[in-house]
Structure formats: structure tokens, C-alpha cells
Structure 1
């Protein structure tokens, strides 16, 4: 099959789940091209980017200026440079009678540029995040690309985007898209509430490469020995790290102990604020903000940790998680996890079996669950084993990619098949 991926930022270290899906399809023998909005400004490039020459397969849309006058001047230049190469496509992109404000705003003109000199006939147009689905719909409507349009919804696109633009933001996409694959049942129900036809919905989870995450070799801590906690995330509000930090402060105050080490990996807008909180709570000796790390370094730190914390919350602007991939990675390494009743996380973490779940922003409960794992190392070990079994059964990347391939084949060759029977 020939597959086009429509993405926002590429490559993005924080979205390795998308990269893994692309690589998996290439390994299965499919031809993959990537169309992205922005180039990542991250210094670290995943080795598989080079191994599979993915940047040579990647095409970027011209940046659209916010200022309309600048947008018009740049658009005129783009049209002038390209009209003799594909005048029909340029004219279609400017047809305001058919495409209304999307043509009048010149967005369609900018979107069609990567396809001026390309024979853009694909079997599948795989879009990650709702706004990429809208882009795929628009370029298909003007004849710049052809293929079955599949949109995967992750979280941000059905929370913050809907909060900002309203629940009708994807109405046209729901009508014209061929298939929608939310990553959890939680988001499936949300899409149904927003008006998506249930018969077009297919839950397809993100997974991990189990070969990269062997069981942790950390010594099995005993009660009263130091316990190493770890979080791996962007330092943004919805990750809830403030509450993990405050929970550590509560434990140290209530129990008057000093046997906790908490490592936080990642970077983001809240780094200075979180560092100041750590300083104000006198936690600099036990909590370390490590910043962004390479994937090998992340695995190494997980390997010497005892518990992963992922205290996700709904941010003030409505932004929510999907299902954090780091939870899957930690569970694959047999680490017990502590997270929250948030989004699709309860579909991954079975409370009391593979880890603990607490209400969002509940510092007391979070501290209590950390203490429980400190005091019950044998149960901690059993939770780790249960988590590994869950990942092997439901979040094995290789099996999920095979399932995705079969789904593509069905939608191509059995257009009337019933999605519900494939869940």
C-alpha cells in the first residue's frame, strides 16, 4: 500500500508513538510519505529517522503568516512560481465559490503547494490529530491528493481545540472522512457526543516496541530503604507534576524521612515555575529536574527506578491527555505506576492491580499511594508483573501495527464491512 501521513510537527521526540507506527508500516513493506506543518526544533533526532531516511520522505507546507497582508503577498508569490507547473490545482485552491472561506483565506493555496509536482495517489491518508484530518479533507477536496481518509484522535484535539473552536469544529470532517480511530474508548464516546457516526469509529490504541523495554533491573527495595520515583513528561499543566511535588513534600513532612528520590525528565513552559516550587518546599535534595533526555537515557533512568508517577490533570483551557505512552513503557519494564482517573488512563492502568489511580489534583491520596508502595515492596513487585502482562496483551506495537494494516486492507477492499465486528 501507498500511505500518506498528515502530521503537525515532524519529527517530534515527544510523539514517538507516531514514528513507531510509520516505521512499523515501512517494515511491513508499505511505501510511506509524510506531510507535516512544522519542522521540529528539537536537537535530538531519533535514530530511526536516519535509518529509514524519513526526512527524504517528508514534505512541509509553507508557513501561513497570521497577518493577512503578508499572507496575501506570500500567497501571490507561491501562485506565480507554481501556476505554470499545475495551474488547475492552483485555480481550484482559489475557488471561493466552491470552497468559501478556506479558499478566501488562502489556506487551500498554501496546503496545495507540496502537491504541485507530485502524483499524489495514495491508498490511505493517515492523519494524526483532528486538525491534520481537516487538512487531509481540504487537500482531497481540491483534488491535490486521493485516498481513504483516516483520522486518529489523541486528546488535545478533542479537548483544547474543541474548547477553543466549539464542538462543531470537526462536523465537516465527520461527514467526509472515511474512518476515525480514537486511541481510547473514552475518546470514542466523546466523538459520538460531538456527532461522529459510530459506524465510522474504530478504537486503535497506540503501543510500544516491547523489545526496547525489558524488565527493570532495579533492586527490589525493602521497607525503609530509599525509593526512586520518576516522571517522564513535558513540563506543562496537564501533566500534573505540581501535585506530585507537593505530595513528596507532604510525605517528608508527615513521616519525617529522607529516603525518597524523585527524578523528573522533560522540558516545557513550566520548568522555572516547578523549579521554584521545589526550592520553596526545600526539596532540592530529593527532586531533580533533568530536562530533555535521549531515549536511551530515559530507559536507563526508568531501569533504576521503583515507581513511575503520571499525575495527569485537566488543564484550565480544557486540555487533556490521551493515554501517556510513558505509562506503557514503565509497565513493560514491570514498574508499578501511580496515575489519575483521567481520560483513557483507567483503560490502561487497573487500579490496585498494575498500579494505583487517584483523583486529579488529590495530593493526599497521591502521597498515600506512594507511601503504600514504599511500605509494601512485595505488592509493588506483583503490580509490576501485572502491568507487564497488560502491555503484552493489549499494547504490543507489533500486533497493533498488524491490526492497523488489516484495517487499511478492509477499508480499501471491503468498504461495506462492519467496524463493530473488528473491535
Structure 2
């Protein structure tokens, strides 16, 4: 792609450090010479990622202000009476009740339009992250800044829950009817989308990426380390199965009598009381460390201290499972062998028996058996980890997937 593009990212909130893959995309595109702007529904007051500061991404972002209605109305009237005729006509366009219904009356369309207008750019590509954010494109596509743009929608997981199937068929009807190009993480994501609209074909595979220069192994060898650290990282929710990690530890410590191991769990969430109860019930306090939520640098430090990564995720009672699990690729990039279940899309993020193991969902004994195998054969663990690093660099690095994204943009614009 030789010509430079104006690209608008639409996101739910910004900055969101747990979604560094979006930041990675934006930075790659800026480095490639394209003009990027970000439209966000919510502003997060959090410590900024260094790249956010370096690339001044907050200066490229507008937020859709949701004031109380009286303040919205006063803001509208103040701007309207100060505006020239051309701008007044744009403002009045947001009040079309037959088109925007309630959102016209409560002035939400006006404030969405106002946020986009501040960029003073006509966009070539609108890239909506999460399916529901594509609604903003359809609401504003008749305004001059989006009128000649093409929409790309990226689905990630909770935007296509099977428990919301009926709602999503209605919510995404226009997106599917207009044959909008969609990207999703893997074949599991495609299967979820095709439950919403059977046989929908305009889907491209684009996994979530990571910066493999940032996630890299430590220089020290782990072959002769006496204690084996087994790492879990994820929110403490049923779909991640943190309680299964404690059940695995129980088998290895109390039944297999493997005492030179430590399980480290990074994360927090509603399952934490259950996790603590099981630790106490199985008397595993000396073998399990709960680290809580950590920043990315500390997560990397824990990964470099570990020998094995485990994510025994399940399909929960609402039918939700892990869509990709970027942490699986992060662990491989660090050089860890990974052990995951076959629930959801995790299986598409490693090579079974080469960079790790894919085990039957809910089979605690199988997880314990494979961990024991790797403890008994540390050379095998290192071999798997080395292959995992190479696999992720070739298939999930942010630059590799950045070039794939540019090809998708090019295909979109050529239609």
C-alpha cells in the first residue's frame, strides 16, 4: 500500500492497558506513515503505557462526552447559536427523529458527531474494535468525515457471546446485511460469528498480537533450577478456571508427593474466595502464591521466573470460552511450554506436542500428568519453550500482524 491513509479507530475505552494489541496496531500504522485518530466512548484514568506517551496518543483521541441531559442541551444551544449556517445545518441533521429516534431527542447523536468533527479529517478507514462499536459508524456515516470511508469491524469475544445470540442477531443485522468485512482471532471466532449469521463469508483471520521484542526470554538458563514454578495468569472467573489450577496442585503435592514446586497465580476476580478456600482445604499454603493483579512488567518478570505456563480454561454455563487468550502467546514468547485445554479458541494459539500441550477440557488428571512429565524432563520443557518462542515471533508478532492488517485494509478499499 503506497498511499497514506486516514484511519479512525473506534474503541469502548482508552487507554486500556489490557488491550495493548490495539495500541500495537495503532503504533505500527503510525510508524508506517498513516494518520491515526481514536474515538472512544470512555476515558480511563490509568497510568499510561510508555508508547501512549511516546506517540502522544491521548492527543489523537476524542471522547464522546455523556453529560446529564440539561448540560447536553445547554452545550448544544451554545454551540448552535455561535455556528455559521453550514455548521448549523450539520447540527440540525443530528436531530432527525425519523432516522435517529431517541438518540436524536437526547442529543447523543449530536455529541458523537461533534467528537468526530474535532478531528477535521475525512477518513478512509473506520476500524471498530468490538462488534457493537460499529453502530457508531452506521449512525455517523452520512456526515462528511465518514461519508467516503469503509468500515472494518474486529470481533474479540464478549461481543459475540452465545448467551446473547438473539440480541446480537438484531444488533448486528445491518452489519451483516451490508456485508461488512470482519476480522476475528481464529476459527473459533468464525464459528461464533456464523452462529449469529449462518454462512457469513466476509471474515478475515487476524489474531491479537504482541510485541515479541518486549516479551522475550531471560538470559539465565533454568535447566538446573531445583524448584519448578508453574504459572497461571488471568482473571479469576469461571471461564479461566483458576480453581482447576488448585485441583491440579492438590494432585501433584498431596498425591504425587512432588514437593519442589510452586504454583504462582496472577489475577483477581469473583472466583478468588473459592480459590482461597481450596488452598486452605488442601493445605497448599506453602505451595501456592497469589500475586493479585500485576502490571505488564511484573507479569513478564513472573513469567521469566517460571518453567511452565498453564491455562485450564473451560466453557462456562453460558457457553462462553476463551476466544484466543493472548497470555498463551506471551508465555510462549518468554520461552515457556504452555498447557491449555481445548475449550474455545486457545488450541489455535500453539502447536500441540511441539510448543505445548492441548488437553481435554476439565481433565484435571491430564494436566497434572503433563506437568509431572515436564518436571521430570526439564530438557523437554526448554525445547518446547524454544520452539514456542519461534512460533509466536513468526505468527503473532505485532509487525507481522500489522502487515496483514494493511493487506486487509487494501482489500477493503479495492472493493
Q: Which residue of 2 aligns with 1:194?
A: 196
Counterpart of 2:26 in structure 1 is 22
Q: Is the 8 A contact 1:218 1:306 kept in 2?
A: no
Task: Please report how far the alpha carbon of residue 411 of structure 1 lies from its aligned counterpart in structure 2 after TM superposition.
Answer: 2.1
Match of 2:311? 310
Aligned-pair CA distance for 1:335: 0.8
Q: Distance in 1 between matches of 2:111 and 2:179?
A: 21
- Aligned mates of 2:88, 2:344 — CA distance in 1: 46
Residues 216, 302 of structure 1: 8 Å contact kept: no
Q: CA, structure 1 residues 360+50, in 2 after alignment: closer, same or farther (shift >3 Å)?
A: same
* Structure 2 counterpart SS, 1:211: coil
Computed over aligned residues only, the root mean square deviation of the Cα atoms, in angstroms, reads 2.5
1:54-108: CA deviation from partner (whole Å, max 9, x where unpaired): 11111111237xxxxx5x4454334324334443333333322123455466543
For structure 1, list consecutive stretches of 5 or more residues without a partner in the other structure.
65-69, 416-423
TM-superposed CA distance for 1:322, in Å, is: 2.2
Q: Deviations over 1:152-208 (max 9, x none)?
A: 111111116735724332111223364111111221233233227744211112222
- The aligned residue for residue 126 of structure 2 is 125
How far does the alpha carbon of each residue in 1:255-292 deviate from its partner, in whole angstroms, 9 at most, with x for none? 12322111122333444443344334322222222122
Match of residue 36, structure 1, among 33, 40, 45: 40
In 1, Cα distance between equivalents of 2:285 and 2:28:
42
Q: CA 1:88–1:15 in 2, change beyond 3 Å: closer, same or farther?
A: same
Residue 167 and residue 240 in structure 1: after superposition, are their counterparts in 2 closer, same or farther (change >3 A)?
farther
> Which of the residues 74, 79, 85 maps onto 1:82?
79
TM-fit CA distance, 1:227 = 0.9
TM-score by length of structure 1 reads 0.87
Match of 1:50 in 2: 53
1:63/1:321 CA distance change after superposition, 3 Å: farther
CA contact (8 A) 1:265 1:291 kept: yes
Say whether 1:2 aligns with 2:3: no
* 1:218-268 deviation line (CA, Å, top 9, x unaligned): 543469x32101122223332211111221122211112322111122333
Secondary structure in 1 aligned to 2:37? strand
Partner of 1:202, secondary structure, is: strand
Q: Which residue of 1 aligns with 2:208?
A: 206
Inter-partner Cα distance in structure 1 for 2:234 and 2:21:
14
* Residue 420 (structure 1) aligns with: none
Unaligned ranges ≥5, structure 2: none
CA 1:168–1:362 in 2, change beyond 3 Å: closer, same or farther? farther
Distance, in Å, in 1 between the alignment partners of 2:202 and 2:24 is 24
Report the Cα distance in structure 1 between the residues aligned to 2:236 and 2:66, rounded to whole angstroms.
26
Aligned: 1:98 with 2:102: no
Give TM-score, length-normalised by structure 2: 0.89
1:226 corresponds to 2:223:
no
1:283-294 to structure 2, matched below 5 A, reads: 283-294=284-295
Q: What is residue 138 of structure 2 aligned with on the other side? A: 137
Q: How far apart are residue 209 of structure 1 and its match?
A: 1.7
